């Protein structure tokens, strides 16, 4: 237990209660009087969208600072100065090997290593760049990395032309032989972050125990009241905003669990019925994980490769993947464009939450490098060239407000840049040939 004083609060102070432990955001009280500013804590994240993009509605027509945002990127307009649109990057690790096109794309994307063509347990690819960062910070965080998803997370079976579901249903690989399963249930993510829950127990046992637990914030209320008495006005406001955000996330999970409209056979407890609510809840969990410094690395798949999700809420009742094989049909192209725009709108929400969350001398977005995009450009042809990518944040001097049209080069060159901007010094990664200059 950390002892609290009016002079200095340790960065790893926890609010404790029975079955709960909540880390705190960076507060002024954590800085000793007359001390220098603390070293910047940096975060790395990736938001993945499947099945390709309608590139004519994505790639800006101009480069540099005076670039245009076409229809798909238009939702990011409020954050134009915080984003760098990247073009010219390819993933040829997926090009010259056997296997389903979607499985090869996502199975090699973050590693730069070609996946083994198999539908069995002998899957093989390469460590992914997010896990390089996770290992670097593992001793400093409670949760080395978050792997989140909003769709099917099974890791066995044939999901694409003889290729294992492990290649389509996750992005992160701990090493060449160990894909990391994504978590699709917000309740499980929340308890992993804030509750002292034994994840080795069965889901049924954990759910039964949860019935006897109060709200996590209720469990820690006494400790929180003691802490607030020792804080200045600015820290009290920051702590109140943080705890309010946690309570709101928890309440949304509870509401989802109690929603009779959710078909329990398809969705485990805690998943909102409306897709946009689901994605926003997962984004908010990442925000509080970053804010509390419980984790500095996250990936989230808005959908898996080959996804057949429908989007009736935006007027697209057709399954996503078949639409991407549009063969030039204008109606299909328009429907895919609407899906691409919808995903961009959800990412803009994530940027908003990161930017409005104060930390130190800036915001969480200022201290992050968040990549958005996918492993395919044109889904109609399963292209691995000129990948659709946007890099957001300002970690490590990253400067937004530009379209960088790079000379054709491996996407792994970008991962080398992101790792170094995150404070993880590497000279090479995957099939990289150098470090991409994202300041160009």
pLDDT score of 131 more than 50: yes
Lowest mean pLDDT among 11-15, 216-220, 343-347, 381-385: 11-15
Rounded Cα distance between 14 and 7, Å, is 17
Average pLDDT over residues 4-33: 60
pLDDT of residue 344: 98
Residue 260 pLDDT level (bands cut at 50, 70, 90): very low
pLDDT score of 428 more than 60: yes
- Give the DSSP letter string of 214-280: --HHHHTHHHHHHHHTT--HHHHHHHHHHHHHHHHHHHHHHHHHH-TTS-TTTS-TT--SSHHHHHH
pLDDT of residue 201: 54
Which residues, including other chains, have CB under 8 Å from residue 64's CB and lie 6 or more apart?
A: 402, 403
Average pLDDT over residues 334-341: 98
pLDDT of residue 7: 44
Percent pLDDT > 90 in the chain is: 68
Does the pTM exceed 0.75? yes
pLDDT of residue 254: 78
Do residues 72 and 394 lie in contact, with contact meaning Cβ atoms separated by under 8 Å? no
- Domain ranges, ordered by start, for the chain: 37-184+271-421, 194-267
Of 285, 399, 287, the closest CA to residue 354 belongs to 287
387 or 20, higher pLDDT: 387
pLDDT of residue 96: 79
pLDDT of residue 264: 37
pLDDT of residue 159: 95
Orientation of helix 186-194 relative to helix 233-258, angle to 10°:
140
pLDDT of residue 3: 37
- Give the DSSP letter string of 156-223: SSEEETTEEHHHHS---EEETTEEPPPB--HHHHHHHHHB---TTS-HHHHHHHHTT---HHHHTHHH
Residue 219 pLDDT level (bands cut at 50, 70, 90): low
Q: Is 26 helix (H, G, I), strand (E, B) or coil?
A: coil
Helix (H) or strand (E) holding 418: helix 412-421
Give me the count of residues in the chain. Answer: 440
Residue 9 pLDDT level (bands cut at 50, 70, 90): low
Rounded Cα distance between 116 and 118, Å, is 6
Phi, psi angles (nearest 5°) of residue 194: -120, -20
The CATH architecture to which 37-184+271-421 belongs is 3-Layer(aba) Sandwich (3.40)
Residue 2 pLDDT level (bands cut at 50, 70, 90): very low
282 or 154, higher pLDDT: 282
Which residues, including other chains, have CB under 8 Å from residue 92's CB and lie 6 or more apart?
A: 384, 410, 431
Do residues 273 and 253 lie in contact, with contact meaning Cβ atoms separated by under 8 Å? no
pLDDT of residue 262: 40
Given its phi and psi angles, is residue 273 left (phi above 0), alpha (psi -120 to 50 degrees) or beta?
A: alpha
The pair of three-digit structure tokens given for residue 371, joined into one six-digit string: 């990549």
pLDDT of residue 263: 39
Of 358, 361, 339, the closest CA to residue 54 belongs to 339
HSE of 144 in the Cβ direction (CA atoms, 13 Å)? 13
pLDDT score of 212 more than 70: no
Lowest mean pLDDT among 17-21, 345-349, 370-374, 402-406: 17-21
Average pLDDT over residues 54-69: 96
pLDDT score of 256 more than 80: no
pLDDT score of 211 more than 90: no
95 or 374, higher pLDDT: 374
pLDDT score of 125 more than 90: yes
Average pLDDT of every residue of the chain: 87
pLDDT of residue 278: 96
pLDDT of residue 265: 36
pLDDT score of 4 more than 50: no
Specify the DSSP class assigned to residue 40: P
pLDDT of residue 245: 75
Of 408, 411, 389, 392, the closest CA to residue 400 belongs to 392
Average pLDDT over residues 248-258: 78
pLDDT, tens digit, for every residue of 290-334? 998 999 999 999 999 999 999 999 999 999 999 999 999 999 999
pLDDT, tens digit, for every residue of 164-207? 999 999 999 999 999 999 999 998 898 888 765 555 556 665 55
């Amino acid at each position: 237990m950390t002892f609290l004083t009016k002079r200095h609060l340790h960065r790893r102070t926890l609010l404790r209660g029975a079955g709960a432990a909540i880390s705190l955001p960076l507060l002024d009280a954590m800085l000793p009087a007359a001390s220098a500013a603390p070293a910047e804590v940096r975060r790395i994240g990736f938001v993945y969208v499947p099945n390709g993009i309608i590139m004519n509605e994505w790639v800006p027509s101009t480069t540099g600072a005076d670039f245009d945002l076409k229809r798909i990127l238009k939702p990011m307009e409020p954050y134009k100065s915080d984003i760098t649109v990247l073009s010219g990057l390819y993933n040829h690790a997926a090009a010259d090997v056997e296997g389903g096109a979607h499985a090869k794309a996502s199975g090699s994307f973050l590693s730069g290593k070609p996946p083994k063509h198999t539908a069995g347990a002998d899957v093989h690819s390469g460590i992914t760049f997010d896990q390089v960062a996770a290992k670097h910070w593992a001793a400093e965080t409670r949760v080395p990395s978050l792997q989140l998803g909003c769709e099917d997370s099974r890791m066995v079976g044939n999901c694409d032309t003889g290729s294992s579901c492990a290649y389509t249903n996750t992005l992160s690989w701990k090493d060449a032989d160990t894909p990391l399963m994504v978590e699709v249930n917000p309740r499980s993510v929340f308890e992993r972050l804030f509750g002292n829950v034994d994840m080795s127990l069965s889901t049924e046992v954990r759910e039964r125990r949860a019935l006897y637990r109060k709200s996590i914030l209720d469990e820690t209320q006494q400790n929180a009241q003691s802490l607030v008495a020792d804080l200045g006005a600015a820290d009290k406001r920051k702590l109140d905003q943080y705890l309010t955000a946690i309570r709101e996330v928890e309440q949304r999970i509870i509401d989802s669990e109690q929603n009779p409209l959710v078909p329990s056979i398809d969705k485990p407890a805690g998943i909102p019925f409306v897709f946009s609510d689901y994605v926003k809840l997962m984004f908010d969990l990442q925000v509080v994980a970053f804010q509390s410094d419980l984790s500095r690395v996250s990936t989230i798949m808005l959908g898996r490769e080959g996804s057949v999700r429908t989007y009736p809420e935006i007027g697209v009742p057709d399954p996503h993947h078949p639409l991407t094989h549009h063969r030039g049909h204008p109606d299909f192209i328009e429907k895919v464009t609407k899906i691409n725009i919808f995903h961009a709108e959800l990412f803009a929400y994530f940027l908003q939450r990161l930017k409005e969350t104060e930390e130190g001398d800036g915001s969480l977005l200022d201290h992050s490098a968040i990549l958005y995009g996918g492993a395919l450009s044109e889904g109609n042809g399963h292209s691995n060239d000129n990948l659709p990518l946007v890099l957001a944040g300002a970690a490590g001097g990253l400067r937004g407000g530009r379209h960088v049209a790079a000379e054709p080069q491996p996407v792994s060159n970008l991962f080398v840049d992101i790792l170094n901007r995150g404070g993880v010094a590497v000279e090479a990664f995957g099939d990289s040939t150098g470090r991409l200059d994202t300041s160009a």
